[in-house]
Amino acid sequence: MIVLKNVCKTFQASSGLVTAVDDVSLQVGQGQIYGIIGYSGAGKSTLIRLLNGLEKPTSGSVTLAGQDIAQAKGEALRKARLKISMVFQHFNLLWSRTVSENIAFSLQIAGAPKAAIAARVKELIALVGLNGKENAWPSQLSGGQKQRVGIARALANNPEVLLCDEATSALDPQTTDAILDLLLDINHKLKLTIVLITHEMQVVRKICHRVAVMEDGKIVEEGEVLSVFTHPQQPITRQFVKQTMEYSRVEAPFNKELINQQAGTVLKLTFVGQNTGQPVVGELTLKYTLPFNILHGKMTQTANGIFGELWLQVAANAAQLDNILNDLHGYGITTEVVTHD
């Protein structure tokens, strides 16, 4: 659906040449929810403007459904942009128009018949959960309701791709979850390809299928969300994941003093999918008649499934430890020896 190959974008600034996007290559499949995450200045906003044709790459290609947007001009570019819609951080609603009129605006520009506009607006209001707000003004809406209007307006002309530029960063956590649930529902119902630009790994965790991590204009890590969460490779990715991890089921502080006071090996176990429900600690305790001290644990839900992390301490000899590690491998659990006495 979307393919970027060796895309670079440079700008001339007073301080010299600035590289905002540096040799970026990525692919977004049809119907995927794809997250692009990075801190301010990482190049995310420039990248999204390259995706919708508002910026031309200095080099490289940006292809949407087989068409190179970077090379398109005039009517060809206009038609290409019709396939792409945008949802903004600060809503960008027309304050002198009602909810219905905001949603209808792009349809009116496209020259759609009045009857078709009315039917489409009614359909979209129901889709985004704004029934009863048809005649409300933007000033009468909550932040979440304003973003629902923005999403409905973006969907009006049946785009193939929906770009979301920090679409939830101006919302409180509860409203953010509701908007993310809405985007997930739209993705399922319409099979719409969604690209999310964000600095919040929580957003990626909740609904994205794949994620690219940006730093200094580059993609430093990319992959399925569950894989990136369970095996982050880069320091910035590990930082994002650490900020997002949630406590659940097993919830205990990681007590370093306790580790220092007791001899033994500390193991970090990473569970994925169905493995999270296995009674591993109990079975190991019975098999080896050793006490396994639970130091810390947490579980996280992603769009691709559940994963969990558990830190254990066990006073095992070398032979027992090898056997324990082999058993854990047999369970399909990734294990890391954190400390060993």
Q: 230 phi and psi, to 5 degrees?
A: -80, -30
DSSP state letters, 244-285? H---BSB-----HHHHHHS-SEEEEEEEEGGGGG--HHHHHH
Q: What is the end-to-end Cα distance of the chain in Å, rounded?
A: 52
d(CA 247, CA 253): 10
Question: In whole angstroms, how far apart are CA 237 and each of 141, 147, 306?
Answer: 36, 28, 18
d(CA 212, CA 194): 14
Question: pLDDT 10s digit of each residue in the chain, 341 long?
Answer: 899 999 999 998 888 899 999 999 999 999 999 999 999 889 998 999 999 888 899 999 999 878 888 888 888 888 878 889 999 888 889 999 999 999 999 899 888 999 999 999 999 999 999 999 999 999 999 999 999 999 999 999 999 999 999 988 888 889 999 999 999 999 999 999 999 999 988 899 889 999 999 999 999 999 999 888 888 899 999 898 887 764 333 444 455 555 545 568 888 888 876 666 678 888 888 888 888 888 877 777 777 777 778 888 888 888 989 999 988 888 888 888 887 55
Question: In whole angstroms, how far apart are CA 248 and each of 108, 275, 299, 308?
Answer: 49, 15, 5, 9
Q: What are the structural domains, with CATH classification, of the chain?
A: 2-244 (3.40.50.300), 256-339 (3.30.70.260)
Q: Give the pLDDT score at 154.
A: 94
CA angle, residues 70, 71, 73, in degrees to nearest 5: 105
